[in-house]
Amino acid sequence: MTEHKTVLKGLEGVYVTESGVSLIDTENGALYYAGYDLRELVEHSSFEEVMFLLIHKRLPLRQEFSEFRELIRRSMELEPIHIEAIHRYARIVDVLTLLVILISLKGTGRQGGDPRDVNSAVDIVAKMGSFLSTIVRIKEGGDYVPPRSDFSYAENLLNMMNGGNYEDEHVEILDDLLIIHADHGISASTFAALVAASTLSDMYSSVAAAILALKGPLHGGASEASYEQALNIGDPAKVPAWLEATLSQKKKVMGFGHRVYKIYDPRAVVLKEIIAKYLDRMDGKVRLVYEITKALEDYGQKYLAPRGIFPNLDLWTPILYRMIGLPSDTFTALFAVSRSAGWTAHILEYWRDNRLIRPLHLYVGEYPRKYIPMELRGDS
Ligand code: SDX
């Protein structure tokens, strides 16, 4: 009797590994990084401390944290080859593609598999931030600004991007955004990183694989897509008709829905609370995007919530990204900068008990089939 084989398309509901990096509590609408509630980390922690927490699964002691932060800052320095590559490509390829080029340059000649290689994990996250900031700066006609030893990771990103032209409150907002995006279990991009790492490819190349997976509009690309969506709607009053038309054409509303959450994404709840603090300081265009987003959330309750489709973080992040002056073609890249902390933490964890990831497929074609020479095939 042939054994019954079930195909679980998209690995939906399949546990592919054990991990202590983060917990998505879908029952209570909460996210924990190594057991610490995201809300507490946004309020009291920093992105550098969250990097340490995801890798080591504990909070750092004072002395080791200052050494860890020093390592991050030193690693943020860019080498001439990177600065030259950014000058060469910044205006001819998109930001994510350039991040892949730059991070792959660092992967040259490396081997993977060492679960103790924390220095590479730190180097990757540090370089990703400097790469993004320097790309933005050079695209806008500026030149490389080195990281400062007295600045946090978030403040260095803004300073390297804008050469000192930013508000103090933008540092706090960026640090919150970096913490909120740092990890989210085995998302598609994290899985891509693990598939590459499980072959013992190096960590840099595995992160390059993850960046390319993050790019799609069903995943990290949704942040830029949801911003474009709001600009295309253009007026909160047009949301009901737009939503009805979109859903009747079976199109997806960007910033809504999630494979794991069938409730309001707890990260989106935190983002809304942060946005509420700055409502009176938004310029006209950002305020319009906020009003359109609010209308989408309100009408989404009516049209989508009954189907278990709720707002996710990508509905709200564009408002904060634009508030701190991030160009609209860099939202997914900033997501990648932050998530490189989660990707590298998962890679180190997986390498502790590495297993090549190689699933099966159920063959549904005919076989064996007899080869027919071309001269006997005719033309129709
Ligand atoms: C992220 O995995 C992670 O953790 C990802 C992430 C992270 O931090 O790493 O959280 C980040 O990627 C968030 C998601 C960002 N993507 C978007 O906002 C794009 C829009 N969302 C959808 O494409 C969708 O919701 C997914 C891809 C996110 C999840 O889709 P699933 O789980 O594959 O569900 P599905 O596509 O099978 O949808 C089930 C039904 C379908 O309708 P029917 O065919 O049954 O009639 O719900 C509908 C879908 O059409 N649906 C939507 C919808 N999402 C699902 N309909 C309209 N708009 C949507 N957004």
CATH (domain of 262): 1.10.230.10
Count of other CB atoms within 10 angstroms of residue 328: 13
255 lines ligand 1 (CB under 6 A): yes
Tell me if 232 sits within 8 A of 245, measured CB to CB. Answer: no
Asked if residue 228 and residue 250 are part of one domain, the reply reads yes
Half-sphere exposure of 148 (CA within 13 A, CB side): 14
Asked if residue 228 and residue 140 are part of one domain, the reply reads no
Residue 279 lies in a domain: yes
Asked if residue 247 and residue 343 are part of one domain, the reply reads no
Residue 235 lies in a domain: yes
* 49: Cβ contacts below 8 Å, ≥ 6 apart: 41, 59, 60, 65
Tokens of 356: 């090549």
* Domain assignment of residue 70, given as a range: 17-217+326-351
Query: Positive or negative, the Cα torsion across 137, 139, 140, 143?
Result: positive
Whose Cα sits closest to atom 3 in ligand 1?
187
* DSSP secondary structure of 235-282: SGGGHHHHHHHHHHTTPPPTTB--SS-SS--HHHHHHHHHHHTTGGG-
- Longest Cα pair distance anywhere in the chain, in angstroms? 79
259 lines ligand 1 (CB under 6 A): yes
Q: Which amino acid is at 376?
A: L
* 170: Cβ contacts below 8 Å, ≥ 6 apart: 158, 323, 324, 325
Asked if residue 196 and residue 282 are part of one domain, the reply reads no
Residue 102 lies in a domain: yes
Catalytic residues: 258, 314
State whether residue 182 is helix, strand or coil. Answer: coil
Beta-bridge partners for 23: 32
Whose Cα sits closest to atom 43 in ligand 1?
250
Asked if residue 317 and residue 334 are part of one domain, the reply reads no
Asked if residue 39 and residue 144 are part of one domain, the reply reads yes
Tokens of 297: 């959330």
Whose Cα sits closest to atom 18 in ligand 1?
255
Asked if residue 210 and residue 294 are part of one domain, the reply reads no
Phi first, then psi, for residue 25 (nearest 5°) are: -90, 90
Instruction: Tell the residue number behind the tokens 């998962």, with chain if given.
Output: 346
Count of other CB atoms within 10 angstroms of residue 248: 8
Question: Distances in Å between the alpha carbon of 244 and those of 78, 235, 240?
Answer: 49, 15, 6
Tell me if 343 sits within 8 A of 205, measured CB to CB. Answer: no
Residue 81 lies in a domain: yes
Mutate to test the pocket of ligand 1, among 219, 265, 269 (most ligand atoms within 8 A of CB): 219
pLDDT at position 380? 85
Residue 362 lies in a domain: no
Whose Cα sits closest to atom 25 in ligand 1?
257
pLDDT at position 3? 76
For each of the chain's 380 residues, which pLDDT tens digit applies?
Answer: 667 799 999 999 999 999 999 999 999 999 999 999 999 999 999 999 999 999 999 999 999 999 999 999 999 999 999 999 999 999 999 999 999 999 999 999 999 999 999 999 999 999 999 999 999 999 999 999 999 999 999 999 999 999 999 999 999 999 999 999 999 999 999 999 999 999 999 999 999 999 999 999 999 999 999 999 999 999 999 999 999 999 999 999 999 999 999 999 999 999 999 999 999 999 999 999 999 999 999 999 899 999 999 999 999 999 999 999 999 999 999 999 999 999 999 999 999 999 999 999 999 999 999 999 999 998 98
* CA-226 nearest atom, ligand 1: 18
Whose Cα sits closest to atom 8 in ligand 1?
184
Angle 90-124-267 (CA atoms, 0-180°, nearest 5)?
A: 90
Residue 242 lies in a domain: yes
290: Cα separation from own chain's centroid? 22
| Confidence (pTM) | 0.97
Tokens of 142: 């500026």
Beta-bridge partners for 256: 311
Tell me if 42 sits within 8 A of 180, measured CB to CB. Answer: yes
222 lines ligand 1 (CB under 6 A): yes
Asked if residue 347 and residue 287 are part of one domain, the reply reads no
| Crossing angle of helices 153-162 and 168-180, rounded to 10° | 120
Asked if residue 260 and residue 205 are part of one domain, the reply reads no
d(CA 346, CA 94): 27
265 lines ligand 1 (CB under 6 A): no
pLDDT at position 75? 98
**Among 103, 110, 111, 122, residue whose Cα is nearest residue 48:** 122
For residue 295, the CA-to-ligand 1 centroid distance in Å is: 20
Beta-bridge partners for 24: 31
* DSSP code for 317: H
336 lines ligand 1 (CB under 6 A): no
Asked if residue 205 and residue 64 are part of one domain, the reply reads yes
**Count of domains forming the chain:** 2
Asked if residue 174 and residue 110 are part of one domain, the reply reads yes
Tell me if 87 sits within 8 A of 161, measured CB to CB. Answer: no
